[in-house]
Structure 1
Amino acid sequence: MKRLAGSTLFRTTLYAAALGATSAFALAGVASTANASARLAIASSAHTVPRTLATSTPSMQGNVVAIAATSSNGLLFASSTGSVAADGSAVTAGDAYTIGHTGLSGSNPISAPVVGMAALPGGGGYYLATASGSVYNFGAAPSHGDTYTYGITGLSGAKPLNAPIVAMATTPHGNGYWLVAADGGVFNFGSAKFYGSTYTYGITGLGGTRPLNAPIVAMVPTPDGKGYWLIAKDGGVFDFGDAKFYGSTYTYGITGLHGNRPLAAPIVGAAASPNGGGYYLVAADGGVFDFGDAHFAGSAYSIGYTGLHGSNPLPSPVSGIAPDPNGNGYWAITKSGKLLAFGSAATLPSVSTSPVTPAPTPSQNALKNPTSNIKGTYNQACFDANMAAKQTDTPACLQAALVSLNAGRASEGLPNVKLPSNFDSLSRIDQLFILINEERVVRGLPPIYGIASALQGDALTGAQNNADPVLTANIPSDPYGNYASIYAFNYSTIADVFDWMYDDGYGGSNYDCTTPTSSGCWGHRDNILSTTQSVGSIVMGVASVNTNFAASTGTYMEKDAAIFVPILTSDLSQMTYLYTWAQAVADGA
């Protein structure tokens, strides 16, 4: 009585095109070359992830590596794994996890640890930068490129960075940004202008005949964006453009990281005073150094801590500092999330950090196709319920099909499917999206990002024509027309997913599997579990239409179809979505 119609267009790995980029720019710290190279994606969730107001205790995964102020009582934090948390009036607009990445490990890791964060003035969006030079933009923050735009190949490859990226900063109006590397190389994007690098001073990076005394760790722009300071780990300060030099830790008689009067701990961050007439440097032990008109409002020592050692040490080293935009104060954040407020800076909750949970690795057995079909036990229950209600997807039918789906998962050593509490009330397309992603995520595969509005027409045409959807929509960054599609009709969304995953072989409900060796056997399952190149994501279209009363089966059924298209992660923001995995997770998936 249950059956699957249609065929799969291909069953192999989905490939997202890698865009080549040529560069004639010779930036400080990078050997110039015009050779094209594959560009890693700039991930974006702009205008797709609902913003979340900060809770009383913001939380995130991993150690805090960056802090950014959005207002006089709003802060954002970033961890090395790409997690983002908000405090006070600040709001989040997504992070690396909400766009399908799995931290620093797992099936879809970010390219390198996050090292920097920059927020749009006044909030509304922000950026994350990784050590390899990738930039991820969220909310209203527009993408302007990353080091791969210049043809640089990250930390390895044919044209690698001379040194890892360590920090980033935005222009005053948020229409551009800079990245700075540990060797003092500066990369400008959008409206951000290049005003020089440590190489401008004749310094030869981290090596050579005239190397830096210590690596660069921070970058601070002037209020008008026409200059910036670069800060070194030993407290050295380098000024460019209209940035004025107001001193360094050496001004205080400190002898850097060594000598007869060294820093007690290395410098880890810096911030400008509100009018740009001075700046602060913060050390890992919570020590704060003020220069120019920057007002000293205290340090970790002034509130009773004894640095990184002693009788009352900090819980972990300080990792950054952010100024109060409207006053004479600042915040410092430790790696473990302890927030310290000084002067006019509002007292806000500390961040609750949790150890990094390794992303699940794909189970080889769970990724392999089953050796035989698993027969569902839901036919009669669905038949009776649907006939009585004269509709599909009755609660009784969904529950009966869920028993079969969980039995199939158990046969592969997988846990029961996790569904939102409101699953029964969700639209059928949202149900299918969640169910398909649940089959992917439990096997360690990255989730499909979202239901793309542009693909809905193709999906609907497939469902109406009783066939696998055909891609006709114009999708960004899919120049080769790669896609996969599936179609089925059944009593409920869960029943269709069960058939696609566990009854797709010879003798099952797959019309394309007419012999034990037919190429179409397990093709629908293969398409659901498709993967992309590391630079890509997958978006989908999905449709579900009623057959009303189907004479051929004697009951009420539905026709479900889906189409999967690879897309560069950097192009996700160019599309609109009806529902995203981030929303599904928020709903309880």
Structure 2
Amino acid sequence: MSFAFLASLLLTQYAPPPPTSNLSPRPNFNRTCAEWGLQSHACLVDTVRALDNARRKEGIGPIYLPRNWTNLTPADQIFVITNLERIARSEHPLPGLTASLNRVAKRGAARGTDPILRSPAGPALSIWAEGVGPLASDYGWMYDDGWNGPLRRTPNLACTSATATGCWGHRDNILAEWSRRLLAGRPGTWYLIAGAAQVPTITRTVLPIDRSITEDSDAMIVTAVEQPPHYVYTWAQAVAEGAGSAAKGWNPAAVPRPLEEAGTWIRTHARDVLVGVIVVGLLALTATRQGRRPRPKKVYRLSRFRRRRSRP
């Protein structure tokens, strides 16, 4: 997994302080997603579980996705998980995505770099990652964005040393304090807009499981404009589907592990299970017919009954 970082307006301390060190994902969702597939339920569950474990170390509650999460586009998913990270740390959510910024984000994702907005009216922040989906990218941006020892073991391409300014840049951009810092002192009314996109990048074979997977290139950009924008997807829509709500939202990792693994196995081997059930049923039916013996016939005797006259 690789990350890049760009802030068109480089400011210090425009976001809450980052963790003191990187956190390795527990469980390792990269292996799970490679083994079961990027669109598998097991991949989703282990990625959410890793995020929840990392959030627990920050004293933050679990993630609650909107109920229609699996029906959202990757761009919408990137937007939703970004806002879930923001509201968990008392930051205002981004209002919505616009079609124009989605196109900018798509160009960045296709090039494998941070989206670049030419001549923005206000501050512009962007991020990019290559990995196994929006939730995995979010984990890297939020918890694996600092210096990790040797340069080859540091996913953040802008974090070239322990003191480099690019370290934790993705996390800073996600949690940027727009109203209090980035837009503070600017005259007029400003509206936040965001854009996100995902494009498939490379297909590689993962050993030792010998499975080919296609990694995704995820990108997002946020800026501010002075004219009221038209949003193509809003945070209000995500909230209506339960995003961020323990009562209405969905946390795939909340399912007990044994039940989840059993369900995953059944879904993966549904065809084999169905064929096996049919074969066993046919064998049982054949054995029953072959072992059936004719029942002995009952012999009935004809009895003579005398009629008795009843006395008056």
The two structures have a TM-score, normalised by structure 1, of 0.36
**By how many angstroms is 1:14 displaced?**
11
**By how many angstroms is 1:552 displaced?**
9.0
Q: Does 1:497 align with 2:135?
A: no
Equivalent residues of 1:14, 1:482 under 8 A apart: no
Amino acid at match of 1:457: R
1:375 corresponds to which of 11, 14, 24: 24
Is the deviation greater in 528-537 or in 416-425?
A: 528-537
Q: Which runs of 5+ in 2 are unaligned?
A: 149-153, 244-312
Equivalents in 1 of 2:13, 2:59: separation in Å? 26
2:159 corresponds to which of 491, 509, 513: 513
Cα deviation code 1:54-101 (max 9, x no counterpart): xxxxxxxxxxxxxxxxxxxxxxxxxxxxxxxxxxxxxxxxxxxxxxxx
1:384 corresponds to which of 35, 50, 56: 35
**How many residues were matched structurally?**
223
Equivalents in 1 of 2:190, 2:57: separation in Å? 31
SS of 2:19's partner is: coil
Structure-2 change in CA distance of 1:471 and 1:369 (3 Å): same
- Aligned residue in 2 for 1:4: 2
**By how many angstroms is 1:4 displaced?**
1.9
**By how many angstroms is 1:551 displaced?**
5.9
**By how many angstroms is 1:13 displaced?**
7.4
Larger Rg: 2
2:195 corresponds to which of 526, 541, 544: 541
Structure-2 change in CA distance of 1:580 and 1:518 (3 Å): same
Q: Does 1:582 align with 2:240?
A: no
Amino acid at match of 2:23: I
Equivalent residues of 2:3, 2:128 under 8 A apart: yes
**By how many angstroms is 1:396 displaced?**
1.7
Equivalent residues of 2:131, 2:216 under 8 A apart: yes
- Aligned residue in 1 for 2:219: 561
Q: Which runs of 5+ in 1 are unaligned?
A: 16-363, 387-391
Structure with greater strand share of residues: 1
Structure-2 change in CA distance of 1:510 and 1:503 (3 Å): same
SS of 1:566's partner is: strand
Structure 2 counterparts to residues 313-392 of structure 1, below 5 A:
367-376=16-25, 377-386=28-37, 392=38
Equivalent residues of 1:435, 1:494 under 8 A apart: yes
Equivalents in 2 of 1:537, 1:14: separation in Å? 22
Structure 2 counterparts to residues 408-447 of structure 1, below 5 A:
408-447=54-93
Structure with greater helix share of residues: 2
Equivalent residues of 2:112, 2:217 under 8 A apart: yes
Structure 2 counterparts to residues 93-104 of structure 1, below 5 A:
none
Percent identical residues? 35
**By how many angstroms is 1:484 displaced?**
0.7
Equivalent residues of 1:393, 1:491 under 8 A apart: no
Cα deviation code 1:226-269 (max 9, x no counterpart): xxxxxxxxxxxxxxxxxxxxxxxxxxxxxxxxxxxxxxxxxxxx
Equivalent residues of 2:198, 2:217 under 8 A apart: yes
Equivalent residues of 2:133, 2:218 under 8 A apart: no
Structure-2 change in CA distance of 1:375 and 1:368 (3 Å): same
Amino acid at match of 2:78: L
Equivalent residues of 1:451, 1:578 under 8 A apart: yes
Structure-2 change in CA distance of 1:407 and 1:537 (3 Å): farther
SS of 1:420's partner is: coil
Equivalent residues of 1:506, 1:514 under 8 A apart: yes
Cα deviation code 1:447-504 (max 9, x no counterpart): 11101111122101100000000003x7xxx53x520100001112111001100110
Cα deviation code 1:90-147 (max 9, x no counterpart): xxxxxxxxxxxxxxxxxxxxxxxxxxxxxxxxxxxxxxxxxxxxxxxxxxxxxxxxxx
Equivalent residues of 1:14, 1:566 under 8 A apart: no
Amino acid at match of 2:11: T
Q: Looking at both structures, which has the greater relative contact order when contacts are Cα pairs under 8 Å and sequence separation is at least 6?
A: 2
Structure-2 change in CA distance of 1:450 and 1:491 (3 Å): same
Cα deviation code 1:516-566 (max 9, x no counterpart): 001100000001111223654421110001125136995321110001102
Equivalent residues of 1:12, 1:530 under 8 A apart: no
Q: What is the aligned-residue RMSD (CA, Å)?
A: 2.3
Equivalent residues of 2:129, 2:217 under 8 A apart: yes
Equivalent residues of 1:548, 1:557 under 8 A apart: yes
Equivalent residues of 2:29, 2:50 under 8 A apart: yes
- Aligned residue in 1 for 2:114: 468
Q: Does 1:401 align with 2:50?
A: no
**By how many angstroms is 1:379 displaced?**
1.7
